[in-house]
Amino acid sequence: MEDDLKTRTSKRFFALCREAGFEAEESKEKVKKKYGLEHFTDITMDQLNEVIKSLLSYIDRKILGLDKATPIKPSVPQTPISPPKVQTITSQFGSF
């Protein structure tokens, strides 16, 4: 069961690589180098999920036309918020 999940997750990794525009062999080599793996099959599920999460983020930025250097700008102009008005309370003891 664990091997089946890892196989399906690996297939998802390669599908996302293609969607991102990366070559399969180049992607495998980068992952092996990042995690110090001798073989791609030595990757853990946690490592594979981390790489997939990174790929999904890359694809989202690519679709939206963003990159790491481009800050996200709000779609609604931001107006400064005024501090609340403070009322002076007058009592028999004076103003506060």
Domain boundaries in the chain?
2-64
Token pair recorded at residue 16: 């996302």
* Tens digits of residue pLDDT in 46-76: 999 999 999 999 998 888 877 654 444 555 5
For 20, list phi and psi in degrees, rounded to 5.
-80, -10
What does pTM read for this prediction? 0.64
Alpha helix segments (H runs only) across 1-96: 2-20, 24-35, 45-64
Token pair recorded at residue 48: 């594979």
Which pLDDT belongs to residue 96?
Answer: 47
Residue type, 86: V
